[in-house]
């Protein structure tokens, strides 16, 4: 591909100048429309060492209001970054609605370097490619413009540039070890890049190979591509996108209505006894997973007043406070709403050896956001798959994922609501919204049934906690957590 | 102090048990009040190695809803953390209103270890102490409860515990090199700690030395202290606090009305010429400060429509996009409003070698927040000093701070507002709020005069950019930036 890439034909100097000016003005005008239509743009600059990534980003941003873009540079992962899944640092830097994010190399660079340096074997490479394809698709599905540029120069040109940089002591530091390696093994590297392009060219996030020998000409190619892509995105802003078919193994599950809540209770004595022994066991397991550096994600969903808070407490009581965090999830704040709906979860993931407990989760997308119309039908229908993909990433990254649905019946909820209303210290726990949600019980039940059926993957299955007797639910939760952790320890 | 510390007298077993239960219940009840009154609580656990910090944090949080607290552990700074000012990582972890943050050692540990390991000399130690005193005071002034516990055990007890831990291979890893060092040089370390206590005991954030030989008794001491402190804080929640006198050297400055805006203009030709040469110079300086790892903060304030955006653009045009970030500052989001007003700036600081440009700043506290009543009079009156302290921290951390006030007169603003209103592509730049602010011009002018007079420190002085002719203001800004950078390069 690199060898035979069909470049556009470079125009004459005068024409180039005119066209460049026109595109620069166009971009300046388009940024306002992006802001107005709340479209986020992610621009990835990859390319050969010394192909001019930094310089070209510098040229492009001249045409954009500094408040509307940010630039990020990725280098070798720090020790801290290594403790999160592969996509974590990339997901964390996606732009907000209406803004640009320019990346000076990113996931392509990391993966291809891994291959060249023989740190990624074939199987791992494939896994990375899958992650990347899903990541990019999930962004474009959610209205992101994703632009991928590869700045291409020839072996000879690269050598010339590296030599030039090394001549002056002011620029010498810019030539890294890998740049020289790349140049010496140009063909071998090119083959890795070509393979990568083939593996990651998609209709919604294609690759653009840019002839980067001349800066001006490279800038023109980039601006024309960017402007065109942005215009297309603006036209398509309200279009729905295809809903991918689920491709993950699902386990069978019951409907909520078929789950018996009867006889799921414990005496106070049984409860105390089991609580103590399970908590002791969990404490010990927490220690071991800390040492083995396994990240754990525990997700709680359930009816209002089902007893999530008390259930979580029985888990955390036995954990070393330095090794876990509870994330209460409310409606998203403005800066969260302005990004992909999974962003606020990606940025709250536990590092290796830590436990993150989510009190309400990303499943809000297919429950409250669906029922209250906070997102489009296309959005929530797509979300089942996006969620399965998200959890697959976590699973592949070595995480244990435990998902709880805390189940009660409608009468029990009424009892608890009424008790909360009548007990002064508990009144803060009950709001008008809870009563309003209760009125939609049947709609919610339908949504929950669909949600569980579609996201009950074998690598991250749902566990139902029958919680008419809270003691029973707590013990069951502890048992499941202990069991799941034992599997990996 | 450690030697002669007057502990409370440990009660009999039965009494201890009763009191412990009472305090646990009290804390559980108080957390609701904290939430209601939006009081944040920062609890710092320091102490000898193996004194039981982790265990005791674990006991205390049993009584708190997991959604209301977070725990953080600080260890040796990573390379990344070293690129920010000393207080950065601590300021970043302060709790939100109504929530607890427990720290498993923090700034005391870092500073005393620095002294013990001879990495901090006397002068640096003093600087750290000053930073810490200001930090803690600024938190308590802003309604934070700051609790500092030191878990104390004897040399003998420590030795016994370390030996015990090392006996089992499951716990051996918990004994660090420094723990052993501490035990071997117990008296020497104790002297450093005692000096630290003396230096950082303050009326609003005193030290509590906890007899940590018995876990139960330690827990009781901690809970009693915490509960009492929280109750006091709740009673004082609406009290004003003393406004510290400015203790930083101020430079003289003019009132806005006395600044002549006449004859501050450039011809197009002069502008082009100077722009080009200054931008080239700045570009080169940016490179050098990147290599010298100096952080730079450029703060923009000014009248609406004074030309901040265009001015910033002329700066950023010459910068390497990988080395700067522009932070547009709007009204704070909920999670920002729930913390100290400087938190959102502390978390946006540039790392060494980078430039952060703030389009509006922390000075909002003494302008819009003051005039619109978004904070109390006591709050904004205190803020001048808090801001001077903040900038002092940055300055002491090696940062260059450049503050611009972009000045125009009232007529010029009207002209520009009208033009914006009448130009379709510029309409987004003008809102009803701008017109409302304009009506308060005189009040703002008074506030700005006071602000400049009180924060015109010699280490972070204000620069006025006369911007009736925007070209003039841009060149002046560039000249000042170049000049200030040259001073440190």
Q: Do B61 and A35 touch (CB under 8 A)?
A: no
Q: How far apart are CA A140 and CA A338, in angstroms?
A: 15
CA distance B474 to B271: 9
| Residue A169 contacts B, CB cutoff 8 Å | no
The per-residue pLDDT for range A148-165, each reduced to its tens digit, is 999 999 999 999 999 999
Q: Measured between beta carbons, which residues in chain A are less than 8 angstroms from residue B425?
A: 29, 32
Q: Do A321 and B35 touch (CB under 8 A)?
A: no
The burial of B267, by beta-carbon neighbours within 10 Å (0-12 exposed, 13-18 middle, 19 or more buried), is given as exposed
Look up residue B58 and give its two tokens: 């674990």
Contact criterion met (CB < 8 Å) for A71 and B322:
yes
Of B67, B309, B317, the CB nearest to A326: B67
Cβ-count burial of B104 within 10 angstroms (0-12 exposed, 13-18 middle, 19+ buried)?
buried
Burial A442-469 (b: 16+ CB within 10 A, else e): eebeebbbbbbbbbbbebbbbbbbbbbb
Residues of A in contact with B328 (CB under 8 A): 67
**Distances in Å between the alpha carbon of B34 and those of A21, A422, B100, B209, B237?**
59, 22, 9, 25, 10
B-interface mutation test, from A67, A174, A309, A361, most B Cβ less than 10 A away: A67
What pLDDT is recorded for position B202? 87
Closest CA to A62 of A31, A39, A95, A36: A31
Retrieve residue B228's tokens. 């009492």
By C-alpha distance, the chain B residue nearest A172 is B291
Cross-chain residue pair A326–B66, CB shorter than 8 Å = yes
Question: What's the alpha-carbon Rg for chain A, to the nearest Å?
Answer: 26
Q: Are B138 and B386 in contact (CB under 8 A)?
A: yes
Q: Does B81 touch chain A (CB under 8 A)?
A: no
Q: Can you read off the two tokens belonging to residue B102?
A: 């427990």
Chain B residues touching residue A170 (CB < 8 angstroms): 287
**B427 vs chain A: nearest CA distance in angstroms?**
11
Say yes or no to pLDDT of A373 above 70.
yes
Question: Is the predicted pLDDT of residue A376 greater than 70, yes or no?
Answer: yes
- Cα distance between residue B449 and residue B254, in whole Å: 8
What CA–CA distance (Å, rounded) separates B179 from B48? 8
Give residues with Cβ within 8 angstroms of B399, minimum separation 6. B85, B294, B295, B296, B297, B350
* pLDDT tens figures, A423-448: 887 888 888 989 999 999 999 999 99
Per-residue pLDDT of A221-233, as tens digits, reads 999 999 989 998 8
d(CA A486, CA A463): 17
Verify whether the Cβ–Cβ distance A325 to B71 is below 8 Å: yes
What SS3 class is residue A171? coil
Burial of residue A165 (number of CB atoms within 10 Å: 0-12, 13-18, 19+) = middle
Q: Which of A32, A66, A291 comes nearest B316 by C-beta? A: A66
- Whether residues A80 and B80 touch (CB distance < 8 A) is answered with yes
- Using a CB–CB cutoff of 8 Å, tell me whether B333 touches chain A: yes
E strand residue ranges, A175-295: 207-211
Contacts of A309 in chain B (CB under 8 A): 65-67
Residues A138/A389, Cβ–Cβ less than 8 Å: yes
Taking the Cβ of residue A460 and every Cβ of chain B, the question of whether any pair is shorter than 8 Å is answered with no
Phi, psi angles (nearest 5°) of residue A404: -110, 135
DSSP three-state, residue A486:
helix
**What is the predicted pLDDT for the residue at A430?**
87
* Contact between chains at B320 and A102 (C-beta distance less than 8 A): no
* Chain B 388-407, residues with CB within 8 Å of chain A CB atoms: none
| Pairwise CB contact (< 8 Å): B58 & A320 | yes
Rounded-to-integer distance, Cα A217 and Cα A225, Å = 12
CA-to-CA separations, B170 to A288, A317, B165, B174, in angstroms, rounded? 9, 21, 8, 9
- Put simply, whether B13 touches A (Cβ < 8 Å) is no
From the number of C-beta atoms within 10 Å of its C-beta (0-12, 13-18, 19+), residue A362 rates as buried
What is the three-class DSSP state of B460? strand
Whether A57 has its CB under 8 Å from any CB of chain B: the answer is: yes
Residue B242: predicted pLDDT: 79
Report the C-alpha gap between A474 and A486 in whole angstroms. Answer: 18
Chain A residues in contact with B76 by the CB 8 A cut-off are none
Instruction: Enumerate residue ranges in chain B where pLDDT < 70.
Output: 1, 3-7
Residues of chain B neighbouring A169 (CB-CB closer than 8 A) = none
Tell me the per-residue pLDDT of A66-115, one tens digit each, with 9 for 90 and over. Answer: 999 999 999 899 888 999 999 999 999 999 999 999 999 999 999 999 99
Q: What is the ipTM of this complex?
A: 0.74
- Contacts of residue B343, defined as CB under 8 A and 6 or more positions apart, other chains included, come to B91, B92, B94, B336
Query: Which residues have CB under 8 Å from A454's CB, separation 6+?
Result: A246, A250, A384, A388
For the sheet with B324-328, list strands across it: B324-328, B355-359, B296-302, B400-407, B462-466
- If one counts every other C-beta atom within 10 angstroms of the C-beta of residue B129, the result is 17
Tokens of B86: 């000393």
Per residue in B403-440, is it b (16+ CB within 10 Å) or e — as a string? bbbbbbbeebbeebbeebeeeeeeeebbeeebeebbee
Percent of chain A exceeding pLDDT 70 equals 99
B170 at interface of A, judged by CB pairs closer than 8 A: yes
- State which H helix or E strand residue A92 sits in: helix A88-92
Q: Which of B36, B66, B321 is opposite residue A54, by nearest beta carbon?
A: B321
A287 touches chain B (CB under 8 A): yes
Give A465's Cβ-side CA count (13 Å radius). 30
How many angstroms away from the CA of A221 is the closest CA of chain B? 20
Distance from CA of B355 to the nearest CA of A (A): 12
pLDDT for residue A10 is more than 90: no
CB atoms within 10 A of CB B122: 8
B66 CB within 8 Å of a chain A CB: yes
The angle that helices A470-488 and A268-292 make with each other, rounded to 10 degrees, is 30
Subunit contact A71:B328, Cβ cutoff 8 A:
no
Query: How far does Cα B317 stand from its chain's mean position?
Result: 30
Using a CB–CB cutoff of 8 Å, tell me whether B32 touches chain A.
yes
Please state the separation of Cα A315 from the chain's center in Å. 26
Q: Is B326 on the interface with A (CB under 8 A)?
A: yes
The pTM assigned to this predicted structure is: 0.84
Instruction: Give the residue from chain B lying closest to A79, CA to CA.
Output: B78
Residue found by looking up tokens 């601590």 in the block: B90
Give contacts of A36 with chain B, Cβ < 8 Å. Answer: 428
pLDDT at residue number B7: 65
Residue of B34, B56, B67 best to disrupt the A interface, most CBs of A under 10 A? B67
Identity of the residue in A65, A321, A425 whose CB atom sits nearest the CB atom of B102: A321
Question: A32 touching B, CB under 8 A?
Answer: yes
Q: How many CB atoms lie within 10 A of CB A128?
A: 23
Residue of chain A whose Cα is closest to the Cα of B57: A321
Confidence of residue A4 (pLDDT cuts 50, 70, 90): low
Rounded CA gap, B286 and A339, in Å? Answer: 32
Note whether B121 contacts A: Cβ–Cβ < 8 A: no
Chain A touched by B58 (CB under 8 Å): yes
Q: How far apart are CA A15 and CA B311, in angstroms?
A: 31
Q: Is B80 on the interface with A (CB under 8 A)?
A: yes
Number of Cβ atoms within 10 Å of the Cβ of A119: 9
Tell me, yes or no, if B247 comes closer than 8 A to chain A by beta carbon.
no
Q: Which residue do the tokens 């998902």 mark?
A: A403
B25 touches chain A (CB under 8 A): no
Contact with chain A for residue B290, Cβ under 8 A: no
Cβ–Cβ below 8 Å for A333 and B335: yes
Which tokens go with B435?
């017109």
Residue B33 contacts A where some CB pair is shorter than 8 Å: no
Please give the pLDDT value at position B442.
96
Rounded CA separation B77/B84 (Å) = 10
pLDDT for position B342 = 97
* Minimal Cβ distance to B32: which of A309, A359, A425: A425
């Amino acid at each position: 591909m690199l060898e035979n890439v069909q470049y556009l034909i470079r125009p004459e100097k005068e024409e180039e100048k005119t066209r460049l000016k026109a595109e620069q003005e166009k971009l300046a005008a388009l940024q306002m429309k992006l802001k107005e239509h709340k479209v986020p743009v992610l621009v990835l600059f990859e390319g050969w060492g010394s192909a001019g990534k930094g310089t070209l980003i510098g040229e492009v941003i001249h045409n954009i209001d500094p408040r509307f873009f940010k630039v990020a540079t990725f280098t070798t992962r720090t020790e801290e970054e290594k403790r999160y899944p592969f996509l974590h640092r990339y997901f964390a830097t996606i732009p907000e609605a209406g803004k640009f994010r320019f990346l000076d190399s990113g996931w392509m660079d990391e993966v291809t370097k891994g291959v060249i340096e023989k740190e990624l074997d074939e199987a791992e490479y494939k896994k990375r490619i899958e992650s990347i394809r899903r990541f990019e698709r999930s962004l474009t599905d959610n209205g992101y413009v994703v632009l991928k540029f590869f700045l291409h120069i020839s072996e000879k040109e690269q050598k010339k540039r590296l030599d030039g940089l090394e001549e002056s002591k002011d620029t010498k530091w810019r030539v890294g070890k890998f740049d020289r390696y790349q140049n010496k093994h140009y063909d071998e590297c090119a083959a890795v890049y070509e393979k990568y392009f083939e593996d990651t060219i998609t209709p919604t996030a294609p690759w653009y190979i840019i002839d980067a020998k001349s800066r001006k000409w490279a800038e023109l190619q980039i601006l024309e591509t960017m402007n065109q892509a942005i215009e297309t995105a603006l036209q398509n802003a309200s279009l729905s996108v295809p809903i991918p078919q689920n491709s993950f193994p699902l386990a069978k599950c019951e409907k909520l209505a078929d789950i018996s809540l009867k006889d799921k209770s414990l005496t106070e004595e049984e409860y105390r006894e089991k609580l103590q022994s399970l908590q002791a066991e969990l404490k010990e397991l927490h220690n071991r997973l800390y040492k083995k550096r396994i990240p754990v994600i525990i997700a709680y969903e359930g009816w209002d007043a089902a007893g999530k808070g008390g259930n979580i407490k029985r888990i955390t009581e036995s954990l070393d406070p330095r090794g876990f965090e509870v994330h209460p999830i409310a409606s998203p704040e403005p800066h969260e709403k302005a990004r992909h709906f999974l962003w606020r979860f990606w940025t709250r993931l536990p590092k290796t050896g830590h436990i993150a407990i989510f009190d309400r989760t990303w499943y809000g997308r297919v429950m409250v956001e669906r029922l209250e119309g906070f997102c489009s039908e296309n959005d929530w229908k797509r979300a089942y798959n996006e969620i399965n993909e998200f959890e697959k990433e976590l699973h592949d990254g070595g995480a244990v994922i435990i998902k709880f649905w805390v189940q009660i019946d409608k009468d029990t909820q009424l009892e608890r609501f009424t008790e909360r209303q009548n007990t002064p210290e508990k009144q803060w726990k009950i709001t008008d919204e809870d009563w309003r949600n209760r009125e939609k019980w049947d709609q919610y039940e339908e949504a929950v049934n669909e949600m569980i059926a579609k996201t009950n993957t074998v690598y991250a299955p749902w566990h139902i906690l029958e919680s008419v007797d809270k003691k029973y639910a707590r013990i069951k939760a502890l048992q499941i957590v202990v069991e799941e952790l034992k599997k990996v320890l």
